[in-house]
Amino acid sequence: MKQLLYIVRLARIALLPLLLALAPAKAQNVVYQGETSTLDVQQKPGDSYEWELYEDGTVNFALVAGNCPAASAFFVGSSSGASVNVKWMNPGIYFFKVTARDAAGCTNNLKIGIIEVKEGLSTAVIISPNPVCAGETASLQLTITGTGPWEITYTDGINSWTETGISDSGHTLKVSPDMTTLYWITSVKNQYRTNNVPSEKVLLEIYPKPVSSKIYQYEP
């Protein structure tokens, strides 16, 4: 028995580079947080396939069951079949294993692959601002998600402005329009990705200054 285990360990050391090289060709090597990707192998008649996910890549994949918690990544639907879907929840490096068995239930092959999950898209929205009087400076309060620092580009539909090096997720933009104006975010960028999906528009209402007039309409 000890001799058999020794042979298994030697086999794993010798075959692991080969197994990594044989990772399913259609699996993405890089995905982004929150995305669902497909892992698949070429179906062979009579074979069945079982998939497992690993967060710890230092284990013996041939002997240890998948150790990835659902909070980090999980199968959407079944973990069996030539094609499976996985939703990636947290950034990091993950491994997957697919075990192929023939009709008799014997293991034909193991294939190991690696996936890098990168930080998801940052988003930014403008909180509906309070009205101000003409000539005053207004504050546009932002709510930003993701990892900073960020670069934010915003517009009023005519002009655009960009602020860089933003580290506060509740950053405030200062504007001084002459009239009631719509504002929205057109771009949010961090070290990982750029989100070019426009935010919802918000209306900044500007109250006009009162017109000068005499205190009394008629002379006494």
106-121 per-position pLDDT tens digit: 776 888 999 999 888 8
Q: pLDDT band for position 214 (50/70/90)?
A: low
Q: Which of 75, 101, 118 represents a domain boundary (last residue)?
A: 118
Q: Is the same domain home to 112 and 133?
A: no
Which runs of E-coded beta strand occur in 7-149? Answer: 30-32, 36-40, 48-54, 73-75, 83-88, 92-101, 107-118, 124-126, 132-133, 138-144
Residue 31: strand pairing partners? 117
Q: Is the same domain home to 14 and 57?
A: yes
Q: Is the same domain home to 114 and 137?
A: no
Determine, yes or no, domain membership for 94. yes
Residue 139 contacts residue 173 (beta carbons within 8 Å)? yes
Which CATH number do you get for residue 198?
2.60.40.10
List, in sequence order, the alpha helices (H) in the chain.
2-21
Q: Is the same domain home to 44 and 111?
A: yes
Q: pLDDT band for position 200 (50/70/90)?
A: very high
Quote the number of domains for the chain.
2
Q: Is the same domain home to 98 and 81?
A: yes
Query: For residue 25, how many other CB atoms are within 10 A of its CB?
Result: 9
Q: Which of 59, 89, 118 represents a domain boundary (last residue)?
A: 118
Q: Is the same domain home to 159 and 89?
A: no
In tens, the pLDDT along 162-189 reads 999 999 999 999 999 999 999 999 999 9
How high is the pLDDT of residue 169?
96
Determine, yes or no, domain membership for 214. no
Q: Which of 98, 118, 138 represents a domain boundary (last residue)?
A: 118
Q: pLDDT band for position 34 (50/70/90)?
A: confident
Q: Is the same domain home to 22 and 106?
A: yes
Determine, yes or no, domain membership for 174. yes
Residue 160 contacts residue 95 (beta carbons within 8 Å)? no
Distance CA 195, CA 120 (A): 10
Determine, yes or no, domain membership for 155. yes
| Assigned token pair, 20 | 């990594």
**pLDDT averaged over every residue in the chain:** 84
Determine, yes or no, domain membership for 215. no
Q: Is the same domain home to 131 and 63?
A: no
Taking 60 as the threshold, does the pLDDT of residue 198 lie above it? yes
Residue 181: strand pairing partners? 204
Which CATH number do you get for residue 42?
2.60.40.1080
Taking 80 as the threshold, does the pLDDT of residue 8 lie above it? no
CA atoms within 13 A on the CB side of 50: 9
Determine, yes or no, domain membership for 74. yes
Non-local (6+) Cβ contacts of 64 within 8 A are: 54
Place of tokens 């998801």: 120
How high is the pLDDT of residue 218?
57
Distance CA 64, CA 215 (A): 88
| SS3 label, residue 161 | strand
Q: Is the pTM of this model over 0.75?
A: no
Place of tokens 């940052």: 122
Q: Is the same domain home to 145 and 107?
A: no
Taking 70 as the threshold, does the pLDDT of residue 14 lie above it? no
Q: Is the same domain home to 56 and 105?
A: yes
Q: Which domain holds residue 199?
A: 124-207
Q: Give, in order, the Cα–Cα distances in Å from 145 to each of 23, 25, 59, 150.
A: 34, 34, 34, 10
| SS3 label, residue 17 | helix
Mean pLDDT across 20-46:
73
Q: Is the same domain home to 113 and 8?
A: yes
Q: Is the same domain home to 47 and 110?
A: yes
Distance CA 54, CA 64 (A): 10
